[in-house]
Amino acid sequence: MDDLEERISALLHASVPTPPKLDAAAIAAHAQAGPASHRWRAPVGIGLAVLLLALVPTFLVSHARHDHSGIAAPAASGTGDSLCHAALGDAVLSEITTTVGEARATRYGPPTYRPAPNAFPQAASTDRAAWCWVATTSAGRVEAGSYTCYLVGPDLSKIEIVIFERTTVPDRAPGAYIR
Amino acid sequence: MTATADFEAFVRERGARLQQAAWLLTGSRNLAEDLVQTALYRTWSHWNQVRDTNAREAYVRKAMLNTYLSWRRRAWVGEAPTEDVGQQGWSTTGTESAEVRMDVLAALSRLPRRQRAVITVRYFLDLSVEETAVTLGISVGAVKSQAHKAITNLRQDRALSSLFTEEIA
């Protein structure tokens, strides 16, 4: 290295902040499980998705047409530790688990757009988060065929991400539709 | 040692340096963590095929740089360097002041992505020209050329020019 190269190198070394220790166990566990965008494609997930696609629109159409008292669509996933249900209640139609890191990196729509690059600043990248689809409501009424996606963090705070107009309940994270 | 324990030991031992390199590449602490974790996830499935620790680090580095160049093409245009104030865990114990850190990030953010990658790999990770070429999948000549252009750009950058002037004086 010449003098100038050594100065650049020294400047870089002196400038970098010290990062936190990575949660090695969590990363290993997540790596073994595979990325969230692939996990839902596992056979069991596909089976559940097919079942949901077959059943949930029937419930939704029924409620959209006859129940204008608020969101009353049935929950598609109701596990005890569900972030979506804890944050949004029984309005949740489908839930896709993810991590805070993956949620921050998610993009959709225009090539440069990431909807939540700084979501949940107090959370670690490996913390659990979830994409939650609920029926869109307007003035207390369910809008048929319209679904709102929220990102829910480990502290149960929620961020509204996007509204999709679809005939069936979305079963993927927003970015998955353009991958 | 099981593959999982081996992987965890690697993350504990080498994770910090990889995150620092990722910070220089992305200009963001959040993205740096995401980048390193994505690279680690991608290398996990081949972990047992690479036994040597140094070879494993080279493998993760390559995955990280590939991911960075790929993400950058798709999503990171228009990045603005920030200190991500409030982000937990990172400490600014480097010898340079916060102002210099921001100047370095600002200057790096104005480099073309491949020049930024060359600068980070060659002068922060301290790899040889040949190792840098392998990591980035380009020729040795391209590394030298990109490094020369990058250094010229950094030296002339409005954020860093005063530093070089002061040092030369």
Judging contacts by C-beta atoms under 8 Å, the chain A residues touching residue B16 are 18-19, 21-22
Domain identity same for B11 and B61? yes
Q: Which domain holds residue B37?
A: 1-76
In a shared domain, residues B122 and B160:
yes
B104: CATH: 1.10.10.10
Q: Which tokens sit at B164?
A: 């070089």
Query: For chain A, what are the domain ranges?
Result: 23-178
| Nearest-angstrom CA–CA distance, A86 and A79 | 10
Cross-strand partners of A163: A148
* A contact test, residue of B14, B24, B37, B46 with most A CBs within 10 A: B37
Residue B166 banded pLDDT, cuts 50, 70, 90: low
Confidence of residue B165 (pLDDT cuts 50, 70, 90): low
Q: What distance in Å separates residue B136's CA from the closest CA in chain A?
A: 18
pLDDT in the model for residue A47: 61
Q: How many domains does chain B have?
A: 2
B136 interfacial to chain A (CB closer than 8 Å): no
Tokens of A49: 């998705």
Type of residue numbered A100? V
Q: Is A146 exposed, middle or buried (0-12, 13-18, 19+ CB in 10 A)?
A: middle
The verdict on A13 touching B (C-beta cutoff 8 Å) is yes
**What is the DSSP code (8-state) at residue A177?**
G
Report the pLDDT value the prediction gives residue A37, as an integer from 0 to 100.
44
Query: Cβ of B91 under 8 Å from any chain A Cβ?
Result: yes
| Range B14-25 burial, b when 16+ CB lie within 10 A, else e | bbbbbbbbbbbb
Task: Give yes or no: residues B68 and B138 share one domain.
Answer: no
Residue type, B3: A
Give A 129-148 residues with CB within 8 A of chain B. Answer: none
Q: Do A4 and B87 touch (CB under 8 A)?
A: no
Query: Contact, A14 vs B165, CB < 8 A?
Result: no
**Is residue B101 domain-shared with residue B53, that is, in the same domain?**
no
Q: By the CB < 8 Å criterion, does B155 face chain A? A: yes
How many residues belong to chain B?
Answer: 169
Domain assignment of residue B35, yes or no = yes
Q: Say if residue B5 is in the same domain as residue B59.
A: yes
Kindly state whether B118 is in contact with chain A, defined as any CB-CB distance less than 8 angstroms: no
Task: Give the residue from chain B lying closest to A110, CA to CA.
Answer: B75
Sequence-distant (≥ 6) Cβ neighbours of residue B82 within 8 angstroms: B27, B28
Confidence label for A145 from pLDDT (cuts 50, 70 and 90) = confident
The per-residue pLDDT for range A17-70, each reduced to its tens digit, is 888 888 888 887 777 765 444 444 455 555 655 666 665 554 443 333 333 233
* Calpha distance A117→A99 (Å, rounded): 13
* Percentage, residues of chain A above pLDDT 70: 65
Distances (CA, A) of A46 to B44, B56, B129: 24, 34, 47
C-alpha separations of B39 from B16, B62, B139 in Å: 14, 8, 23
The upper half-sphere exposure of residue B151, i.e. CA atoms within 13 Å in the direction of its Cβ, equals: 17
Report the relative pairing of strands A141-152 and A158-165 from DSSP bridges: antiparallel
Looking at the domain assignment, is residue B143 inside a domain?
yes
pLDDT for position A129:
93
Q: Determine which of A53-57, A71-75, B21-25, B155-159 has the lowest per-residue pLDDT on average.
A: A71-75
The verdict on B61 and B128 lying in the same domain is no
Query: Which residues of chain B lie closer than 8 angstroms to A7, CB-CB?
Result: 164, 167
Residue A34 Cα distances to A28, A99, B40, B113, B154, angstroms: 10, 12, 11, 28, 39
Instruction: Among B24, B88, B95, select the one facing A122 at the smallest CB separation.
Output: B88
**Which value does ipTM take for this structure?**
0.85
**Do residue B154 and residue A9 have CB atoms under 8 angstroms apart?**
no
Q: For residue A17, what are its two tokens? A: 């902040």
Choose the mutation target among B8, B47, B116, B165 for the interface with A, i.e. most A CBs under 10 Å: B8
Question: What is the rounded CA–CA span in Å between residue A50 and residue A69?
Answer: 29
Alpha carbons within 13 A on the beta-carbon side of A69: 3
Kindly report, residue by residue over B35-59, the tens digit of the pLDDT: 888 888 888 888 877 778 788 889 9
Q: Is B87 inside any structural domain?
A: no
Alpha carbon distance B2, B85 (integer Å) = 38
Nearest to A161 by CA among A173, A169, A171: A173
Q: Largest alpha-carbon pair distance within chain B?
A: 55
Cβ atoms B11, A26 nearer than 8 A:
no
Q: Do B16 and A16 touch (CB under 8 A)?
A: no
The CATH number that applies at residue B35 is 1.10.1740
> What DSSP line would sit under A70-105, residue for residue?
S--PPPS---TT-HHHHHHGGGEEEEEEEEHHHHHH
Structure tokens at B75: 């999503």
Q: What is the model's pLDDT at position A106? A: 85
Residue B151 lies in a domain: yes
- Per-residue pLDDT at A51: 62
CB-based contact A18 B93, cutoff 8 Å: yes
Whether residue B34 and residue A20 make contact (CB cut-off 8 A), yes or no, is no
Q: Calculate the alpha carbon distances from B135 to B31, B66, B78 in Å.
A: 20, 9, 25
